[in-house]
Structure 1
């Protein structure tokens, strides 16, 4: 006997039946779906503009309260000492491993950042952030021994500072779950007023001199002097500032 509906009524079966079917029922259902998919209530300018402003105000108030009462005090408790004027936004940075963190005055740090300390070393990793530093979204700072950011440093989104790789070079040791080796570990120093563009990778044993700018997408594997604009893979000096 012919039936309009498939024998099984799982969601995927019904969806496939409607999309592939060419019966009056499936054509009606498809018409209803496409007719209502993009439907929205007509815009009433005074009403919806007022609702939009109210939404922004309530959302901003909620974010401020969450930041001031919850995220910032929790993160401050993880620091070696409270950081005056600290502004967290979009949540609280993730901190992994045993790591000493010191932050100066008036810093702005995205809550989508990650700070990690090497767990297998005998020396406790130290992350030092100067004053008036900006660390943007999805930045990762992996501290092998020491990572130091000077005053007025700017780090754009999706940047990685990697003072340790997390795995050894030897494939058998890596498969066995052994940690990285001491020769793979190094400090990273960003002197005052350095500006790092989006998506930059900075490896271990790298010092970037004061006021230097690193272009977006660069890979920094060697020291850069002060007052230069650098970029590329690997990064090289493009011109003096």
Structure 2
């Protein structure tokens, strides 16, 4: 077990220091197998981030602390191809990875606040905010902002309920984690 943990730590360190060196990734990063991370201008990942195998980040993103992605989670841009150019098939149109791309989508940043769990097989569209402490149910498609401390699920994702069963538990949690939402929710 010790050897497997050491190998995992070395692999994660190589990913952060070599493959993803152009991005800002804090301590406690762990990536499963076959993970890809790419952002045109900005990828910032907070402490204790876990991203499950076969997951993709393909958009500019700011991710808070203590966030976890299940397997096969994707963050994708909304306007990755300039599909409104007359006479140009979408396949041949300029795409966001092109250095001179200047259409919609440039400057959109996806924000995932602290203490978020995104379930297996979910897709998050670029440019939205997932509020602190939220949970995204497995297989969901997130197309709009997510309220803090809420559970969202479905296609498209909708609010199912709050994360805590009562306001006392929520306020106690917010106080203990020193949340910016303490006293505001």
Q: Which range, TM-score by smaller chain?
A: 0.7 to 0.9
Q: CA RMSD in A?
A: 2.5
Match of 2:104 among 179, 183, 187: 183
Question: Against the structure 1 CA distance between its residues 150 and 205, is the aligned structure 2 distance closer, same or farther, given a 3 Å change threshold?
Answer: same
Please tell me whether residue 161 in structure 1 is matched to residue 83 in structure 2: no
Give the unaligned 5+ runs of structure 1.
Answer: 1-56, 81-99, 119-124
> How far off is 1:72 after superposition?
3.4
> How far off is 1:107 after superposition?
2.0
Partner of 2:25: 103
Q: Normalized per residue, which structure has more helix?
A: 1
Give the alignment of 1:51-200 within 5 angstroms: 61=3, 72-73=13-14, 75-80=16-21, 100-118=22-40, 125-143=41-59, 146-163=60-77, 165-170=79-84, 172-180=88-96, 182-185=103-106, 186-200=108-122
Between the aligned partners of 2:159 and 2:136, the Cα distance in structure 1 is 9
Between the aligned partners of 1:155 and 1:222, the Cα distance in structure 2 is 18
What SS does the corresponding residue of 1:182 show, helix, strand or coil? coil
Aligned residues: 155
TM-score w.r.t. length of structure 1: 0.57
Between the aligned partners of 2:11 and 2:155, the Cα distance in structure 1 is 41
Partner of 1:222: 144
Between the aligned partners of 2:138 and 2:115, the Cα distance in structure 1 is 17
> How far off is 1:66 after superposition?
5.8
Between the aligned partners of 2:15 and 2:67, the Cα distance in structure 1 is 24
The structure with more radius of gyration:
1
Between the aligned partners of 1:79 and 1:106, the Cα distance in structure 2 is 14
Between the aligned partners of 1:213 and 1:74, the Cα distance in structure 2 is 26
- Give yes or no for contact 1:147–1:163 (8 Å, CA) kept in 2: no
TM-score w.r.t. length of structure 2: 0.72
> How far off is 1:169 after superposition?
2.0
Question: Against the structure 1 CA distance between its residues 198 and 68, is the aligned structure 2 distance closer, same or farther, given a 3 Å change threshold?
Answer: closer
- Give yes or no for contact 2:79–2:104 (8 Å, CA) kept in 1: no
Identify which of structures 1 and 2 has the higher relative contact order when contacts are C-alpha pairs closer than 8 Å and 6+ apart.
2
> How far off is 1:207 after superposition?
0.1
Between the aligned partners of 1:153 and 1:74, the Cα distance in structure 2 is 18
Partner of 2:177: none
Partner of 1:18: none
